[in-house]
Amino acid sequence: MVESDPRRSIPRTDHLLALPEVIAAGEHVNQATIKVIISEVQTAARNGEIPVAEVVPTITSKLSSRSASSLIPVLNATGILVHTNLGRAPLSPAATQAVVEAAGYVDVEMDLGTGKRSKRGTGAKAALLRACPAAEDALVVNNGAAALLLAVTALRGRGAGSGEILISRGELIEIGAGFRLTDLMTTTGSRLREVGTTNRTHLTDYAEAIGPNTSSLLKVHTSNFRVEGFTSSVDVADLRTLADKHDLPLIVDLGSGLFTPDPALPDEPDIDTALRAGADLVIVSGDKLLGGPQAGLILGRTEAVQTLAKHPLARALRTDKLTLAALEATITDATNPIHDALHIDAEHLRKRTETLAEAVGATVVEHDGRVGGGGAPGVPLPGWAVELPEDCAEPLRLGSPAIVARVHQGRCLIDLRCVPETDDQRVADAIDRVTSVRVGDDD
C-alpha cells in the first residue's frame, strides 16, 4: 500500500480562515493580508519547508506578532550616525511626539482664527528662520534632490537661452545607488557647463564660461569624497562677486545640513556661513546632520525662494503634515540622537563599551565612527567597540532586537555610539544568546 503524501493533509484556506485565532486577528489585520499569510504558509508546507503539523501554529504566530508595517526596528551598532540603509537620522522624542499629534486632523492649511485657508508649513518655516537668521526666506520640499531639481528648474528662466548651469568638474558627484546629481539636473532641460578640472578650479574658469545662455552658478559640496593634494576651488564669496557682475543666481548645495559651524566637524560647510558669503539659495537635507525627517530645505534670499515657491513643480514636491511637524519639532528641540551621538562623551562611551564587553566575555578595541550620509567624508569619530567573531553578525541582525553591527576584517564590531544607553542590556542579552548558540554548536 502506497503511503499517503502528508502534504495532502494541509488545511484548506476556508478552514484556516475559520480558526478563532484567525478571526480574532481580523480586528487589526485586513482580510487581504491574512489570506496572503495563509497562502505563504501553505506554500512553505507544500515545499517541505515546514511540517504540515506546523501550518496552524505558524499562521497564528505570524498574525499575532505582525506589526503595523513591514519595517523592522533595529539597533544601529555600526558607529555610523547617518546610516542611509537604516533610515538616516532617527527622530528625537519631541519629533516623534509631533508626528503622533499630527497624525489626525490638524490645521496644516487653515487659520483657526478666521476659519479660512492659510499657507502650509508656516510653523516649520518660522522655526527654520529662527535657527538661521541669515536666511530671509525658506521653503521645505520632500528631499534634497527635489530641492535641487526645483531650484535649477525655477531659475532656468533667468537665462536668455537654453539654461546653462555652470559647475566645477570637481563637483560632479554621484551618491548612493548610482544616483548622479548631473542626471537629475539635465532632466530639467538645462545644460551643464563644466568648468575647471577635477582637482583645480579657479574663478577665471567660471568667468570665461559665462555666456548669454547661462542661467545660474552652482556650487555643490563633495559630500561623499575628498580630493586632496594639489587642489583649488572657488569659495562662495568670490562666486557671489562674479554672479553680481552678470546678474546670475548663485545656488549652493551643501547636502548634510549644519545650520552653523560645529567644532566637532571643523571643515563641514554650514548654511549660515554660505548665506552670509552671498548664496542666493542654500540647499540641505533634513535627515542628515540636522537630525530630522527626510526633507529638502531651501533657505536664502526672498526673491529667489519665492521664485521657487511659485513654480508649479513646488506643488508636486511639497511635504506632508507629518514631515512638517517632525521638522519643526527637530529644529525647536534642544537636542536629538544625531547631535548626541556626534558630541558623545568619549570617556562615558568607553565605560559603556567596557561594561558590555565584560558582561559578554569579549574584548574592547578602538573603533572610529563616521558621520555617514554624505557628511564629513573621511573624518573619524574616535571611539571603541566590542569585538566578536564575524559569524555573530548575521544572527544578531536576524534576532530580536535586530542589531546591525559593523563587519570589518573578519570581525563583528559592536559600536554603542548610536545605541541608546537604555538598550545596552538588550544588546548584552542578544550577544549572550548568539554566543551561547555558537558554543553549543562547537561542542
Of residues 321 and 179, the one with the higher pLDDT is: 321
CATH code at position 202: 3.40.640.10
Which of 294, 312, 333 is the last residue before a domain boundary?
Answer: 333
| Measured CA distances, 148 to 27, 313, 314, 437 (Å) | 44, 12, 11, 50
Grid coordinates of 359: 558582561
Q: Are the beta carbons of 326 and 316 closer than 8 angstroms? A: no
Beta bridge partners of 383: 367
Where residue 256 falls among pLDDT bands split at 50, 70, 90? Answer: confident
Eight-state DSSP code of residue 361 = T
Grid coordinates of 379: 573624518
pLDDT at residue 443 in the model: 53
Where residue 70 falls among pLDDT bands split at 50, 70, 90? Answer: confident
Of the listed ranges 1-5, 50-54, 58-62, 381-385, the one predicted with least confidence: 1-5
Rounded to an integer, the average pLDDT of 208-234 is 89
- C-alpha 63/C-alpha 53 separation (Å) is 17
Of the listed ranges 84-98, 165-179, 249-263, the one predicted with least confidence: 165-179
Sequence-ordered alpha helix ranges (H) in 142-256: 144-154, 181-186, 203-209, 236-246
Sequence-ordered alpha helix ranges (H) in 53-196: 55-65, 93-102, 122-131, 144-154, 181-186
pLDDT at residue 229 in the model: 86
User: Is residue 237 included in any domain, yes or no?
Assistant: yes
CATH code at position 422: 3.90.1150.110
389 and 243 fall within a common domain: no
Where residue 218 falls among pLDDT bands split at 50, 70, 90? Answer: very high
Where residue 162 falls among pLDDT bands split at 50, 70, 90? Answer: low
Of residues 80 and 161, the one with the higher pLDDT is: 80
User: Is residue 1 included in any domain, yes or no?
Assistant: no
Mean pLDDT score across all residues of the chain: 93
Q: Are the beta carbons of 379 and 386 closer than 8 angstroms? A: no
pLDDT at residue 297 in the model: 98
171 and 312 fall within a common domain: yes
Domain boundaries, position 434: 74-85+339-442
pLDDT at residue 163 in the model: 85
294 and 310 fall within a common domain: yes
79 and 110 fall within a common domain: no
User: Is residue 251 included in any domain, yes or no?
Assistant: yes
283 and 343 fall within a common domain: no
pLDDT at residue 442 in the model: 58
Which of 333, 350, 378 is the last residue before a domain boundary?
Answer: 333
> Is residue 339 predicted with pLDDT exceeding 50?
yes
User: Is residue 423 included in any domain, yes or no?
Assistant: yes
Find, among 226, 171, 224, 218, the residue nearest to 190 by Cα. Answer: 218
pLDDT at residue 397 in the model: 97
Residue carrying the nine cell digits 503539523: 53
Q: Are the beta carbons of 296 and 145 closer than 8 angstroms? A: yes
pLDDT at residue 66 in the model: 83
> Is residue 158 predicted with pLDDT exceeding 80?
no
410 and 391 fall within a common domain: yes
Rounded to an integer, the average pLDDT of 77-82 is 97
Which of 333, 362, 397 is the last residue before a domain boundary?
Answer: 333
Residue carrying the nine cell digits 508656516: 122
pLDDT at residue 174 in the model: 81
| Measured CA distances, 230 to 121, 174, 227, 268, 378 (Å) | 45, 22, 9, 20, 18
Residue carrying the nine cell digits 563583528: 412
pLDDT at residue 223 in the model: 74
3-state secondary structure of 25: helix
pLDDT at residue 226 in the model: 78
User: Is residue 179 included in any domain, yes or no?
Assistant: yes
238 and 364 fall within a common domain: no
- C-alpha 14/C-alpha 8 separation (Å) is 15
230 and 358 fall within a common domain: no
Where residue 4 falls among pLDDT bands split at 50, 70, 90? Answer: low
User: Is residue 106 included in any domain, yes or no?
Assistant: yes
Where residue 195 falls among pLDDT bands split at 50, 70, 90? Answer: very high
24 and 81 fall within a common domain: no
Long-range CB pairs of 122-130 (<8 Å, 24+ gap) are 123/324, 123/328, 124/324, 124/325, 124/327, 124/328, 124/331, 127/327, 127/328, 127/331, 127/332, 128/297, 128/299, 128/331, 130/331
Q: Are the beta carbons of 306 and 107 closer than 8 angstroms? A: no
Grid coordinates of 270: 554650514
Q: What is the pTM of this model?
A: 0.90
Grid coordinates of 139: 521653503
| Measured CA distances, 359 to 177, 198, 232 (Å) | 39, 50, 51
Residue 264: is it exposed, middle or buried by C-beta count within 10 angstroms (0-12/13-18/19+)?
middle
pLDDT at residue 441 in the model: 63
Q: How many domains does the chain have?
A: 3
User: Is residue 152 included in any domain, yes or no?
Assistant: yes
User: Is residue 239 included in any domain, yes or no?
Assistant: yes
80 and 104 fall within a common domain: no
204 and 254 fall within a common domain: yes
Of residues 226 and 78, the one with the higher pLDDT is: 78
Whole-number percent of the chain with pLDDT over 70: 96
- C-alpha 271/C-alpha 231 separation (Å) is 23
For residue 87, the one-letter residue type is: G
- C-alpha 380/C-alpha 346 separation (Å) is 13
18 and 123 fall within a common domain: no
Around Cβ 84, how many Cβ atoms within 10 Å? Answer: 15
> Is residue 90 predicted with pLDDT exceeding 70?
yes
